[in-house]
Amino acid sequence: MKLWDKGISVNKKIEDFTVGKDRELDVLLAPFDVLGTMAHIKMLEKIGLLKKDELNVLLEELKTIYATAKDGSFVIDEGVEDVHSQVEFLLTEKLGDIGKKVHSGRSRNDQVLLDLKLFARDRIEEMVQGIEQLFKTLQKKSEEFKDVLIPGYTHLQVAMPSSFGLWFGAFAESLVDDLHLVKAAWNVANQNPLGAAAGYGSSFPLDRTMTTQLLGFDDMNYNVVYAQMGRGKMERTVAFAIASVAGTLSKLAVDGCLFMSQNFGFIKLPDELTTGSSIMPHKKNPDVFELIRGKCNVLQTLPQTIGSVTTNLPTGYFRDLQVIKEYFIPAFDELMDSLAIANFAIENITINKDIITDEKYKLAFTVEEVNRLVLKGMPFRDAYKEVGLKVERGEFEPDYSVNHTHEGSIGNLCNIDIAAKMEQTVKSFEFEKVQLALKELLKA
């Protein structure tokens, strides 16, 4: 069944090629397509295009379809083009001509725009929860091991003293900044495109403010041409946020791989979190970190992938946009899997508490010695030269005490302040508003 069918058969090869993976991916959009349809028909009843009794029977049947979409039993039948067609087919099959009325005033163009925004909004909420959980785990580890010193590196050369408190805490704060980008993506996704129809509006007196409120959107895309232009732009904006989180996870994973190697020996994972070799019986490989790194490196290319589809498309709808689904929809699961497994690995990590006194790290304390001389009154450049000459003569002996007190340093991690930033950012999403709106819609 095709919503646009006018009795002309389409060549099977063309049909298979143009449908692509829509049936497979659209199943994931089904609950959102139903929600959008519920909001749309409530609005149609208000403007007189549906009768009250018609609305009531449609809503009841849509609730049934919604339940199947949520429990995983919803399917798109062979020969049905997409989720929009399947929902309308089910309504018409059950209710007859009443089911044919639900499409008044909309197009599959604004339906898919809406479905993708509702989907993105839902998955962003999950993403924020996953980010918040990893953040808490990292902060906990930062506090637990804040007094354990490790060498810091520049150019992969031993540089200055650092600590596990700084290392864990750095990734926690990185997630806060990532969340600012996620919030920007949420703001773009959380605008209602419904009513744009094919991208040029409708002669029906649609009440777009009503559907905006029913679906819990903060705002709408007012200009109907721009609403259609937003296809691909929303996905790319969300992709930048996904890529930012993926970048943090990838860097964490790279450090994890290095720190687990025998040359570093800073951390360990339990044996059951590692893998072995088919030929080397001693191997305990950090595959978990390597796969996080690989998957997240791929996710960091997502904005460019989406951009390559949308670049130089004129104003209006083009079938090219369908391709974006194949990269955009699965990306959330890839990121959520990486967040969850990173959290699990960090929860179970063991750290080496006796690292910094190793002979090869003693030069990490040269700056500490320079600073001590400066505090005694010696000009910085003279102190720098004196310590440098000791190093050259092989006479430098470190003092392993470290006294860093400024904000964000080894002795003053400011984890409480960073946690406050995270809490404030999470609250700014106002997920409760969306949840309440959709709960009320489903009660109707």
- Is residue 73 annotated as a catalytic residue, yes or no? no
Query: Are the CB atoms for 325 and 346 separated by under 8 Å?
Result: no
Given 9, 73, 155, 282, the catalytic residue: 155
C-alpha dihedral, 96 to 100 to 101 to 107, nearest 10°: 160
Residue type, 320: D
Residue 200 has which token pair?
């040029």
Q: What are phi and psi of 285, to 5 degrees?
A: -90, 145
DSSP sequence for 400-434: ------STTBTTB--HHHHHHHHHHHHHTT-HHHH
The conformation of residue 36, written as its DSSP 8-state character, comes to H
Q: What are the residues whose beta carbons fall under 8 Å from the beta carbon of 141, sequence distance 6 or more? A: 164, 168, 346, 349
Residue 18 has which token pair?
């143009």
Residue with tokens 């509006």: 201
Nearest to 369 by CA among 382, 383, 381, 357: 383
Nearest to 328 by CA among 301, 289, 290: 301
Given 261, 277, 308, 428, the catalytic residue: 277
Distances from the Cα of 32 to the Cα of 22, 370, 381, angstroms: 15, 62, 65
- Is residue 277 annotated as a catalytic residue, yes or no? yes
Terminal-residue alpha carbon distance, the chain: 29
The conformation of residue 11, written as its DSSP 8-state character, comes to P
Residue 131 has which token pair?
């980010």
Helix H or strand E encompassing 350 = strand 350-351
Residue type, 81: E
Alpha helices in 215-321 (DSSP H): 224-229, 233-260, 287-299, 302-310
List, by residue number, the catalytic residues.
155, 277
